Amino acid sequence: MKKKDFLWVLLFPVYLTIGTIRYEGSHAFAAIPEGLPEFTRVNPDLAAELIETLSRDEDGSVRRAVAKGLPEFIKVNPDLAAGLIGTLSKDKDGSVRWVMARELPEFIKVNPDLAAGLVETLSRDEDGSVRRVVAGGLPEFIKVNPDLAAGLIRTLSKDEDGSVRWMMAEGLPEFTRVNPDLAAGLIETLSRDEDRSVRRAVAKGLPEFTRVNPDLAAGLIETLSGDEDRYVRWVVAKGLREFIKVNPDLAAGLMETLSRDEVGYMRWVAARGLPEFTKVNPDLAAGLIETLSRDGYLSVRWAVAEGLREFTKVNPDLAAGLMEALSRDQNGYVRTMVARGLREFTEMYPQRAPRLVEELGKRAWKTSRYRKRLKV
């Protein structure tokens, strides 16, 4: 063994001991406030004195732990807790104020009046991450103090930090359920936001808005389905089936827009929604089926072909023409979808069936078994 290796083996236990002492020295005291909720339950008086001392500690991690335990302490000693909340909500360490903001839902449940002051203070915080957490707690706060929450919502929806506005947009479905009129104005503001992540969050809540305020939702769907950001349009498209169930008239405009979108995925979503849409608006669906069955994007034609059986139930004549058109498709999977509907087609149009089977046979791809089954 080399000399330097021998010295390292000899000195390593000393190094480890010194490191452990340093670690424990810096964290042992921080462990005390972590136990404050338990101290509060067992001995409230002792906990009160301890909390006052630790809330003034020079170590930010200690003050953070105190802030974390305040929701429990507020139940036992609301007067002292009120003073501590006022102090820690203005702490010089932003992470302490962030913890205070994160605990807001708990404060709201325990003492809504105290929470009101805390919300007002933290909503004006210089740190955007603190304001963002406040915005996240507003859906809970609006239930207990709608007037104050309304003012804060209007303020934070125009915040200079895009992540704060994004959080406001994420809470829109809840605001819509609690206060539809307030939500309506907020939705209009945020749907025009310069930050695309905010507009995406608005688009996410469209199915909920459609149930509460169909007129407003109609305008939003029209605006956001034509958004310059493809991901905003994608989020709108994801809600298509829900729109068809809730408000077929609204869905009609969206179907037309998506079927013309430059992104193939949007047209695929429209094609996937056709079986449901055909039941509520067969006339418009017929034109869309005809258009999308000729789409250059393979997945779109797949989706149309997969809906053939449903189309047959609603509009047999349309389905028959579609089957004849798709039987000539270059893709084998599309033709297989046509072959699966041959039995129904043969029963309705026995004179046209042989020609269709012949066409499928020219491009045989898993279709021979369908021909044998029909004995055509």
DSSP string, 97-161: HHHHHHTHHHHHHH-HHHHHHHHHHHTT-S-HHHHHHHHHHHHHHHHH-HHHHHHHHHHHTT-SS
Q: Is the pLDDT of residue 268 over 90?
A: yes
Q: What is the mean pLDDT of the chain?
A: 79
181-220 residue pLDDT tens:
888 888 888 999 999 999 999 998 888 888 888 888 888 8
| Rounded Cα distance, 344 and 373, in Å | 13
User: What is the structure's pLDDT at 231?
Assistant: 92
User: pLDDT over 70 for what percent of the chain?
Assistant: 82
213 Rama sector, left if φ>0, alpha if ψ -120 to 50, beta otherwise = beta
User: What is the structure's pLDDT at 232?
Assistant: 93
30-56 residue pLDDT tens:
444 555 566 666 666 777 777 778 888
Bigger pLDDT: 254 or 75?
A: 254
User: What is the structure's pLDDT at 131?
Assistant: 92
User: What is the structure's pLDDT at 167?
Assistant: 92
2-12 residue pLDDT tens:
554 544 444 44
Q: Is the pLDDT of residue 68 over 90?
A: no
Q: Is the pLDDT of residue 29 over 50?
A: no
The pLDDT of 250-267, averaged and rounded, is 89
Report the Cα–Cα distance between both ends of the chain, in Å, rounded. Answer: 88
User: What is the structure's pLDDT at 213?
Assistant: 81
| Rounded Cα distance, 341 and 214, in Å | 38
What are the distances in angstroms from CA 241 to CA 284, 306, 374?
A: 16, 16, 35
The pLDDT of 324-335, averaged and rounded, is 82
pLDDT range class, residue 20, cuts 50, 70, 90: very low
| Rounded Cα distance, 63 and 91, in Å | 9
Count of residues in the chain: 376
Cα dihedral across residues 327, 330, 334, 336: positive or negative: positive
Q: 268: burial class by Cβ within 10 Å (0-12, 13-18, 19+)?
A: buried
Q: What is the pTM of this model?
A: 0.70
| Rounded Cα distance, 69 and 34, in Å | 7
Structure tokens at 295: 């789409």
94-126 residue pLDDT tens:
998 898 888 888 887 878 887 888 888 888 899
Bigger pLDDT: 368 or 267?
A: 267
Q: Specify the DSSP element, H or E, that contains 17.
A: helix 3-34
The pLDDT of 324-349, averaged and rounded, is 79
Angle, CA of 304, 284 and 233, to the nearest 5°: 70
The pLDDT of 75-93, averaged and rounded, is 82
Are 78 and 111 in contact, with CB atoms under 8 Å apart?
A: yes
Coarse DSSP helix, strand, coil percentages of the chain, rounded to the nearest 5 percent: 80, 0, 20
165-185 residue pLDDT tens:
999 999 888 888 888 888 888
For every residue of 46-84, DSSP letters joined together read HHHHHHHHHTT-S-HHHHHHHHHHHHHHHHH-HHHHHHH
DSSP code of residue 171: T
Are 32 and 54 in contact, with CB atoms under 8 Å apart?
A: yes
Q: Is the pLDDT of residue 132 over 70?
A: yes
In the chain, where are the structural domains located? Answer: 251-306, 315-376
User: What is the structure's pLDDT at 365?
Assistant: 46
pLDDT range class, residue 26, cuts 50, 70, 90: very low
User: What is the structure's pLDDT at 24?
Assistant: 42
User: What is the structure's pLDDT at 371?
Assistant: 46
User: What is the structure's pLDDT at 9?
Assistant: 45
Closest by alpha carbon to 136, among 166, 176, 91, 100? 166
Coil, helix or strand for 42? helix
